[in-house]
Structure 1
């Protein structure tokens, strides 16, 4: 049977979309072993995740504009190649600092994929099929999240944490080959491809100062000043982008398009509330409950399976009934699931934890694909590249914020002699973080509901 051209492109995008979530969810299970290998605590381990996300957030919008200028296919292909090479380079890593450098390179590669993938889906598929196609991409993201803990836990337990990177490198190579074979069109849009040096500087400075300051606000005296500097740079960036004829990020669309702006805000709050949950549960299952990484991976499997199974259906429903009710209800369902997980830790019940993860998975599938569909459907095709970058950027900002919150909370200790990895300190910190994430979900219902009013 002949496979249609757009189906081959979709499969290629799905394989590439699998890489980053798989990398994140599989590495979560290896964090205790990485900590022991490099003799570092929870704060440094959180930075292994956070520095990847921060780098990706910084480069996503510029890479989206580069895709407009030289072609989305070229940027996407470079991303698959760089992701593959950087993953194999883990063989030479000897310190936690070099591991963070490697994670920065992976962040740049992921930015190339994030900035172009959703736009290519929107360009290839017509509006009546776009929600389904995005649901398929979101579904494979969740498949990556689903099998990441199982495969990552197995690889980490049997062959060491470096083997996870080798596995990712092989997948990246496959995605590179498929891009050459099936993705022939460049999708150039030079009218939207602007890379101004002042815009890039202000954008990067606002993210670096703001996000790094937020991460260090609890543990250092200068964190609050760096955060304030980030806010100043953000204001300067917005003012600059509103005035220039060809902005890096057309900020006016946030003021003129309420559906676009509120959907983006809801996405950021959603990822802020959910991304670090896998990291927290990895620590809980291994450091407190005493499971090995292979066993812990099976427990973390359930949420992502639910998300993978339901996302295409939820995306198709958003094509028919709209996104507001589905996405808003999803945020509320996630909050209920997090509450169940929080309570299960008080009771030490693994059955309740699994139930809570099922509820979180249902809620996330109700939110993600419909919300992405709302964002892409609210702008004309000329802005698909920009909208794709915004979806990725707000997701990454939410993920960085999620990890920054966790880094700040996990750094709290009752006294200087107590380790952040000590169960007596770790458990209340994990539960406190879950309460903060519940609050984010509840707040996120508001912009999700009023986006079309």
Structure 2
């Protein structure tokens, strides 16, 4: 079912996508800066702190693909609308949490709502905007993601330091309410090109269960039980692929990866990029507060450098991708990221703040040049009936990469600190784990450059 243009306004649709694209990364990045305060308030150790971020990412990642397929069948606007309602309710629960388990459970629910929004945002833009304007619109949406990341460290640091971490969640509620009301009032259209298809419930359950096991197990390595859980997760996902190859209307069309080189390699590039970069904010937030001794506000002011530069370059590169090769642009962006990561491998307690700011500027430029063209490449490589799945897939690559990135960082902290719960008492070994993390991320991103360049042969 294709919506008629008279039943919606492209600019209002883009505004709503921009607001939600801003709000969700704001929640993630603002929480990172508040982790030490949350830890003090609710009694969390270093590993539990990381799960405040990872619980949200996990539930978002595992539900994205099923929600993308649901959106293609029942309507992308409807799923987008319901997702925002869930996000609003979950934000209230996070704000009033009185224990670590309650906060983590609320973050899981928040992630489910986010998966419904993430899985439809780019699909709505691609559905509503013609190809010659799509890159520009995607660039604006991606820029709003980075704008959320830009505001988060500063506003998050100020709110945490002066009003408490709970206000991080309260601040998003009015925005969510506005999005819900505006969607009801102004978007009468619906997009459901796969309407009538049967939803693959069996495949969805297999995917959610084993994807969860893979991610949870990976973040708990090298614990022996975690190795078993991770292995079961890998085997389960292989079973999922085999099941999907035999289903008439699969929740995830494997043929998109098998027969569409641009789609497959663009998603691989996105996965590698986020796996090599997402934990930078987490690690530097702890580094600046525990090693450099900065308060949350000052740490946030320093970390804002990267997303501000991202915002500037993402919008510009999105416009360029309407005119020039998305593959070349995103490959250049990935190479710039490699440079920034290698520069961070030498930081220690004596590193000047100016050097860290310069590194973050380089990384911001790379992220901005990579993200918009790569997303445009993915969304332009599929038929309309697969737009929900394509949107969900690129979001899955992003969130799975983020989860893997946090898993790598957490694993290294665990290997170096062990069962110790106080980073401030183990500064030397924590610093070593940060340096090793950046070395691994730089190597991983180098592989991503080659994956991105391979699309040029298509």
TM-score bracket for this pair, using the shorter chain length:
over 0.9
Q: CA RMSD in A?
A: 1.5
The 1:90–1:416 alpha-carbon spacing in structure 2 relative to 1, beyond 3 Å, is closer
Moved more, 85-94 or 163-172: 85-94
Q: Deviations over 1:289-342 (max 9, x none)?
A: 111111111101111111111111101111111111111111111111112223
For residues 72 and 129 of structure 1, what CA distance do their matches in structure 2 show?
Answer: 20
Confirm or deny: 8 A CA contact 2:46 2:421 kept in the other structure.
Answer: no
**Helix, strand or coil: the match of 1:245?**
coil
State the partner residue of 1:409. 412
Q: Deviations over 1:382-428 (max 9, x none)?
A: 21111111111111110110111111111123666684452122111
State the partner residue of 1:442. 446
The 1:195–1:295 alpha-carbon spacing in structure 2 relative to 1, beyond 3 Å, is same
Counterpart check, 1:18 vs 2:3: no
State the partner residue of 1:328. 331
**Helix, strand or coil: the match of 1:190?**
coil
Q: Where do 1:64-103 residues align within 5 Å?
A: 64-103=68-107
For residues 453 and 276 of structure 2, what CA distance do their matches in structure 1 show?
Answer: 17
Counterpart check, 1:120 vs 2:124: yes
Shift of 1:20: 1.0
Shift of 1:69: 2.1
**Helix, strand or coil: the match of 1:247?**
coil
Confirm or deny: 8 A CA contact 2:45 2:421 kept in the other structure.
Answer: no
Q: 2:340 is matched with which residue: 294, 317, 337?
A: 337
Q: What are structure 2's unaligned runs of at least 5 residues?
A: 1-7
For residues 391 and 355 of structure 1, what CA distance do their matches in structure 2 show?
Answer: 29
Q: Deviations over 1:253-305 (max 9, x none)?
A: 10100000000000000011111110111101111111111111110111111
Q: 1:201 is matched with which residue: 201, 205, 208?
A: 205
Q: Deviations over 1:214-268 (max 9, x none)?
A: 11112x2111111110111011000111111110000111010000000000000
The 1:88–1:193 alpha-carbon spacing in structure 2 relative to 1, beyond 3 Å, is farther
**Helix, strand or coil: the match of 1:321?**
coil
Q: Where do 1:102-181 residues align within 5 Å?
A: 102-181=106-185
For residues 446 and 178 of structure 1, what CA distance do their matches in structure 2 show?
Answer: 43
Moved more, 420-429 or 431-440: 420-429
Q: What are structure 1's unaligned runs of at least 5 residues?
A: none
**Helix, strand or coil: the match of 2:345?**
helix
Moved more, 338-347 or 358-367: 338-347
Counterpart check, 1:426 vs 2:430: yes
Count of residues in correspondence between the two structures: 449
Confirm or deny: 8 A CA contact 2:46 2:422 kept in the other structure.
Answer: no
State the partner residue of 1:267. 270
Confirm or deny: 8 A CA contact 2:266 2:377 kept in the other structure.
Answer: yes
User: Given the two structures, how large is their TM-score scaled by the length of structure 1?
Assistant: 0.96
User: Given the two structures, how large is their TM-score scaled by the length of structure 2?
Assistant: 0.95
State the partner residue of 1:364. 367
For residues 282 and 178 of structure 1, what CA distance do their matches in structure 2 show?
Answer: 35
The 1:200–1:333 alpha-carbon spacing in structure 2 relative to 1, beyond 3 Å, is same
The 1:292–1:434 alpha-carbon spacing in structure 2 relative to 1, beyond 3 Å, is same
Q: Where do 1:142-291 residues align within 5 Å?
A: 142-191=146-195, 193-218=197-222, 220-291=223-294
Shift of 1:213: 1.0
State the partner residue of 2:4. none
Confirm or deny: 8 A CA contact 1:258 1:452 kept in the other structure.
Answer: no
Moved more, 387-396 or 409-418: 409-418
For residues 228 and 183 of structure 2, what CA distance do their matches in structure 1 show?
Answer: 45
The 1:337–1:159 alpha-carbon spacing in structure 2 relative to 1, beyond 3 Å, is same
Moved more, 289-298 or 84-93: 84-93
Q: Deviations over 1:103-124 (max 9, x none)?
A: 0010001001011100000011
Counterpart check, 1:59 vs 2:85: no
**Helix, strand or coil: the match of 2:251?**
coil
State the partner residue of 1:451. 455
Q: Deviations over 1:192-233 (max 9, x none)?
A: 854222201210122111111111112x21111111101110
The 1:343–1:17 alpha-carbon spacing in structure 2 relative to 1, beyond 3 Å, is same
